[in-house]
């Protein structure tokens, strides 16, 4: 889903930083980049990231306590994030059937899902090729 409200300057800057990053970034890494723009308070960055996540423009990579820009902001289902254990590169995967199956199984077990984060740990194509594991 895309944002329907105006984006703050810090949100826009954080999103741009994440779009240019080659791997997930933590809030403090983003803050360090924004310091040259006069942003010095961690809560300002955390607030911007929280809004970007809520707007579907950024995903939180739970296993890394970090954030990545969304590749497909128009998707409505939760996504699966693949994280390379070697270089931390990420890939965004959509699988609405898997999400629906997990939701059905949770409901059948009497569990109400309020948030879903799915992450796969593995090796990206580049790292696999470098290791000779193609």
pLDDT score, position 88:
94
The CA-CA-CA angle for residues 73, 46, 35, to 5°, reads 105
* Tens digit of pLDDT at every position of the chain (134 positions): 444 679 999 999 999 999 999 999 999 999 999 999 999 999 999 999 999 999 989 999 999 999 999 988 777 778 899 999 999 999 999 888 998 999 999 999 999 998 888 999 999 999 999 988 65
Radius of gyration of the chain (CA): 16
SS3 call for 41: coil
43-72 tens-digit pLDDT: 999 999 999 999 989 999 999 999 999 988
Q: Structural domain boundaries of the chain?
A: 9-131
Find, among 129, 117, 46, the residue nearest to 82 by Cα. 117
Burial label, 87 (beta-carbon count in 10 A; 0-12, 13-18, 19+): middle
Two tokens, residue 8: 């703050």
CATH 1.10.10.10 fits 9-131, yes or no: yes
């Amino acid at each position: 889903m895309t944002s329907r409200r105006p984006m703050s300057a810090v949100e826009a800057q954080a999103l741009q930083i994440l779009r240019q990053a080659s791997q997930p970034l933590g809030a403090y890494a983003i803050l360090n980049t924004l310091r040259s723009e006069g942003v010095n308070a961690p809560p300002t960055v955390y607030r911007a990231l929280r809004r970007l996540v809520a707007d579907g423009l950024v995903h939180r990579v739970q296993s890394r306590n970090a954030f990545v820009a969304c590749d497909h902001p128009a998707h409505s289902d939760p996504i699966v994030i693949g994280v390379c254990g070697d270089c931390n590169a990420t890939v965004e995967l959509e699988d609405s059937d898997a999400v629906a199956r997990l939701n059905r199984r949770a409901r059948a077990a009497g569990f109400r899902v309020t948030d879903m984060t799915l992450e796969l740990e593995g090796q990206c194509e580049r790292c696999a090729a470098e290791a000779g594991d193609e």
